[in-house]
Amino acid sequence: MKSAACRERRLVYRRMGVLLLFIMLVSVLLGPGSTAQAAGKTITSMEYFSSADGPVISKSGVGKASFGFVMPKFNGGSAAWSEVNGDLGVNVKVGSQWVDIDQAENFTYNQNWGHWTDAGFQGYWFTLSSTTDVQLYSKANGIKLDYRLVFQNINETTITAMSPTQGPDIIASSTGGAGFTYPTFNNNPSVTYEAVAQDLKVYVKPVQSSTWIDIDNNASSGWIYDQNFGQFSEGGGGYWFNVTESIHVKLQSKTSDANIIYTITFNEPVRNSFVVTPYEGTTFTADGSGSIGIPLPKIGGSAPIAKELQNFVYQININGQWVDLSNSGQSKFTYSGNGYNPISDANQWGYWADHIYGLWFRPIQENMQIRIGYPLNGQPGGNVGSNYVNYTLIGNPDAPRPDGSDQEDISIGTPNNPVIEGMNLIWQDEFSGSSLDTSKWNIETGYYLNDDPGTWGWGNAEMQHYTTSPQNIFVQDGKLNIRATHSNQSFPQDPNRFAKYASGKVNTKDKLSLKYGRVDFRAKLPTGDGIWPALWMLPQDSVYGTWAASGEIDVMEARGRLPGTTSGTIHFGGQWPANQYAGGEYHFPAGQTIANDYHVYSVVWEPDNIKWYVDGKFFYKVTNQQWSSATAPNNPNAPFDEPFYLIMNLAIGGNFDGGRIPDASDIPATMQVDYVRVYKQQ
């Protein structure tokens, strides 16, 4: 399935995620207590995060096993790992002596031990073939916390029989969640999963289908480990699934006919009404970390299912006006699709899922009112009327908020002078000629990623095709103009589908690529529904696999309907659809927008972190603790350790802003680029 170490780390995440969501429903908790307010704290005390996280953790395996635990509570829970990590060391016992793990002969970081982070939690993982004593200690004052990781070696065997310990008929929750513990193998409860893991295959098929799907490393099937299926470790362990329809799951021996077929039934509700009512209560109080979790309201008397989430309307009351939560420039909330970002000082929100769906918010320091609505006809974009549930959030004024003040702003050049102290300018285009310099830029054309008709709209359901026409790409008055115009063009991949707009896209592939450094784009951007300007980067050579395993760096993306906001993002993880992302947003000061003037959009890319700026003002940082590449799990800097090239384009429609379509008056729309400059540190 995956390496044992990777799987164990994910099992820890899963355990913490389930625990987290359960507690949220009961007492509203999200995250591990405090979050950093200032860097560089020393450790005054440590205690185990829970009884499952020390002091003794036992695992069994064939030759080796993977262990993981959540970071302890530091300073009575008042300090986060990100605050004290400079003071935190790790020892292992070699013989009778404690040795710093970096000096221990048999330990190599990111090979048999390392850090993990997920949804605001952090911890350590170890892959061990013998019982090992581990000690966390304060470098400043010698405070210690001991762990004993007990390993029991077991003999590998094959499967001759299986009988279920749960099921085989299982009902999924409204979120599609379901699971079952491992069966009894060989009629012997002492035979563990680890003993037979190499002989066990998992297959899935919809109830109405006759074809079994091998879901082992088969993301193209739509079954993605740790996204819609995986394994848990509690109670002896087992498999979990998130389903949107009823399915059969078959556990099959590779060496015999032994198998079990489970049926997971997903009962889709029949809606006679779309009136929303509270799931439980309408007043919620922030905990010590400023976290609040709200179960989504019932629709017609029962909990919502996954496909209904897109229909909800989320609004927050700002000075007496209801504002869409997704309008971050006004709501002051940033959507965090991958869970709480502990190094961002923004107000954040997102979805959680346990046996029902809900929303989380963090950090809530002030009282506020939100409301959640649903269309009366049950259709996306339908009239909500007064079909809302109103909620009161009681803030915790003492809740910690990460301190971004240590992220300094940067100096930028002027339109006429690219010189920046401490930086070497290694490449630039000031667009001072009368046409695009094709020694520096390529022009991309088309509407499809390749000959597969399913890749129309560049894989994002975009509505424009790219051309070489001077109507769409031209240089004038020292500016590159990328313009979207009305069009109606079909293509051979699918002659019945038409791109309704024409636009421009240029890149530096095979002409300029950089590994680490700084890129500045100075640009003035268009506004309007469905207008999507982007300045971004892709790998010159996809050494870790196709998108997004080899990464993507978005220096700037903007939604034309929200001219007061831009964003910076990275994409990483596995190949689509196993991709992941992390990003942040910049909110312009009052009176400024993406269109009111030219603004400088910058990214500073270093081996272990990437930072984003607008007009030299810092707004977001991501570190290598937050990214990964599925094909290089032991490389902490992958995939952002390879050369990337530059891209500029103006898209229309697409998934980035929910498929919105421009008004006729919004087209033509033009993105104007004053310069592109690439620097390296001196």
Catalytic residue set:
552, 557
CA 337 to CA 622: how far, in whole Å?
14
In the three-class reduction of DSSP (H, G, I as helix; E, B as strand; rest coil), residue 184 is classed as: strand
Number of Cβ within 10 Å of residue 344's Cβ equals 22
Number of Cβ within 10 Å of residue 244's Cβ equals 16
> Cα dist. 147→68, 115, 123, 138, 340 in Å?
11, 16, 13, 15, 28
Q: Which candidate, 497, 498, 681, 509, places its Cα nearest to that of 605?
A: 681
Burial 448-458 (b: 16+ CB within 10 A, else e): beeeeeeebbb
DSSP state, 655? G
**Phi, psi angle pair for 19, to nearest 5°:** -60, -45
Which residues make Cβ contacts (< 8 Å) with residue 639, sequence separation at least 6? Answer: 539, 543, 544, 549, 550, 551, 572, 627, 629, 632
DSSP state, 111? T
In the three-class reduction of DSSP (H, G, I as helix; E, B as strand; rest coil), residue 343 is classed as: coil
In the three-class reduction of DSSP (H, G, I as helix; E, B as strand; rest coil), residue 632 is classed as: coil
Number of Cβ within 10 Å of residue 467's Cβ equals 21
Bridge partners of 603? 519, 612
Tell me which amino acid residue 430 is: E
In the three-class reduction of DSSP (H, G, I as helix; E, B as strand; rest coil), residue 194 is classed as: helix
Number of Cβ within 10 Å of residue 56's Cβ equals 10
Instruction: Give the pairing of strands 423-429 and 313-318.
Output: unpaired
Tell me which amino acid residue 529 is: D
In the three-class reduction of DSSP (H, G, I as helix; E, B as strand; rest coil), residue 284 is classed as: strand
**Do residues 425 and 677 make contact, with C-beta atoms less than 8 angstroms apart?**
yes
CA 565 to CA 36: how far, in whole Å?
26
> What is the residue-wise DSSP string for 584-627?
EEEEPPTT--TTTS-EEEEEEEETTEEEEEETTEEEEEEETTT-
CA 678 to CA 23: how far, in whole Å?
48
Residue with token string 């090992």: 132
Tell me which amino acid residue 126 is: F
Burial label for 509, CB within 10 Å (0-12, 13-18, 19+), is middle
In the three-class reduction of DSSP (H, G, I as helix; E, B as strand; rest coil), residue 7 is classed as: helix
CA 631 to CA 125: how far, in whole Å?
19
**Using alpha carbons only, what angle is made at residue 156 by residues 151 and 158, rounded to the nearest 5 degrees?**
145
Instruction: Establish how many alpha carbons lie within 13 A of residue 551's alpha carbon, considering only the half-sphere containing its beta carbon.
Output: 26
